[in-house]
Amino acid sequence: MTQKIYIFKRFERFWHWSQAALIIFLMITALDLHGTMTIFGFADAVIYHRAAAWTLVGLWVFAIFWHLTTGEWRQYVPTTTNVIAMVRYYLSGIFKNAPHPHRQTQLQKHNPLQRLAYLFILAFVGPLLWTTGWLLLFYASLGDWGLGWLSLEWIAIGHTIGAFFMLIFLIAHLYLITAGATVSSHLKAMITGWEEVH
């Protein structure tokens, strides 16, 4: 038996979809910047990439403020409770129609593996992308700041590594949205706010 509970508030859904669109757009413009494909052309891709990056920074600043003032930051505090059960579920239980080991509520929106994944994004991938992105953006001024010893090549490699981690997260995220009470329940929840739970 399933029931519906209101999990994701309007701002969370706006933040989620805006962030997703900006990250995907950044990845598309990066294909131009790396010469992998020509979509916009290098000069326009640089402009679009910077604009999307600044917009994403603004969104993150506002999201951090929202999470801190509403207490929603607690949803991302990692826990080791049920981590092994979640790993077993995603490796085999999901394919055997086993019950989901995490019961989603308004106070526990994310399971332990989601919390660890978000911690990895927030503590490693995000800072790697932000730092290398800023260094690339202001590369001409690094000598004035005493950072002239930093190699443009290594900064770009660091930024690309961060982007690939983000791409891996995006692919895993797309797969895991199908792991709800129904194939589309997680997707519907991020559109309507209402999650179907067992």
Q: What is the structure's pLDDT at 1? A: 63
Q: Of 43-52, 105-114, 115-124, which range is least confident?
A: 105-114
Is there a contact between 160 and 154 (Cβ–Cβ < 8 Å)? no
H/E stretch holding 46: helix 42-70
List, for residues 154-178, the tens digit of each pLDDT value.
Answer: 999 999 999 999 999 999 999 888 8
Residue boundaries of the structural domains of the chain:
3-197
Which residue stretches of 97-151 are H helix?
112-120, 126-137
List, for residues 58-108, the tens digit of each pLDDT value.
Answer: 999 999 999 999 999 998 888 888 889 988 988 888 888 888 888 888 888
Contacts of residue 36, Cβ cutoff 8 Å, sequence gap at least 6: none
DSSP bridge pairs for 196: 4
How far CA 168 is from CA of 13, 80, 102, 121, in Å, comes to 21, 23, 23, 11
Question: Superfamily for 3-197?
Answer: Transmembrane di-heme cytochromes, Chain C (1.20.950.20)
For residue 181 the two structure tokens come to 């009470």
Task: State pTM to two decimals.
Answer: 0.88
